[in-house]
Amino acid sequence: MSAVARFAAAGVPVSLLSRFRGALVAAVLGDCVGGEFEGAQDVPLDRVLQHLSALEDETKGDGILQYSDDTAMMRCVAHSLLTRMGFDEQDMARRFAKEYSHAPGRGYGSGVIQVLRKLASPQLSDVFQPARAQFGGRGSFGNGGAMRAAPFALAFRNAADVKRFARVGAMLTHSCSLGYNGAVLQALAVHFSLQGDLALPQKFISKLISEMDEVEKDEAARGDAKVLNLAEFPYCARLHKVKELMERNNVSIEEVISEL
């Protein structure tokens, strides 16, 4: 039985299943299309539109896009959650390591490569240890955990579980709070979107601020923010800025980029 059929048999509404698909498909599309511009400092909208138009022009190629390590690992998350009917850190870690071994050329960063190679060891008992050992014990605060966070919002119904498992899922590769809290924020955004909260953008942002305010009060998070010379609650600070911009009229794209 397919995952979709399994959810349908469990009584999940068709409209919600459509949102499930949308969440995953949008993540893959963003990865594939955005890969063209990774590392660029300034990407005008016209350039993005030209890139998309060229994909439909058969004289300029076959229109096939390559997905990156972000999609590869997100697929591992989804498969693990479905197969194990919940979060299993050992299973998820093994899938990450096997996926990297199968297709190492998808743009994995040097730091995560070290982690994945250690996760492949059959002697490893603590699958969180390789990530904790990174960068002198400080751990990675990159965005890789957030890039693969969407499936946690699909697998768990309440916000507390979404936060809990997005956090520990990210900690397999990102043990710094900036890394795993970014995954929590992304998973919460998908969680609230599935509930239809995007129809009321102000409410959507307010709910994210409320949840992340609790998350960022953690002692480890505050300590990491201080060491990195960031705002005391870095994600909440950005969300408040988003809300402020939303409440104003005639905000330019340039200002949004500059402020965020």
Q: Which residues are annotated as a binding site for Mg(2+)?
A: 68-70
Query: Which residues, at least 6 apart from 57, have a Cβ–Cβ distance to it below 8 Å?
Result: none
Tokens (6 digits) for 157: 């119904």
Q: How many residues does the chain have?
A: 260
The count of C-alpha atoms lying within 13 angstroms of the C-alpha of 243, restricted to the half-sphere facing its C-beta, is 16
| Residues in binding site | 68-70
- C-alpha dihedral (84, 86, 88, 91), degrees to nearest 10: 30
Which has the closest alpha carbon to 188: 149, 145, 218, 222? 149
Q: Which of 153, 167, 253 is nearest to 215 (CA)?
A: 167
Q: Which of 239, 258, 235 is nearest to 247 (CA)?
A: 239
8-state DSSP, 207: H
The CA distance from 80 to 64, in Å, is 27
Upper half-sphere CA count for residue 67 (Cβ side, 13 Å): 17
Instruction: Judge whether 156 and 139 are in contact, CB under 8 Å.
Output: no
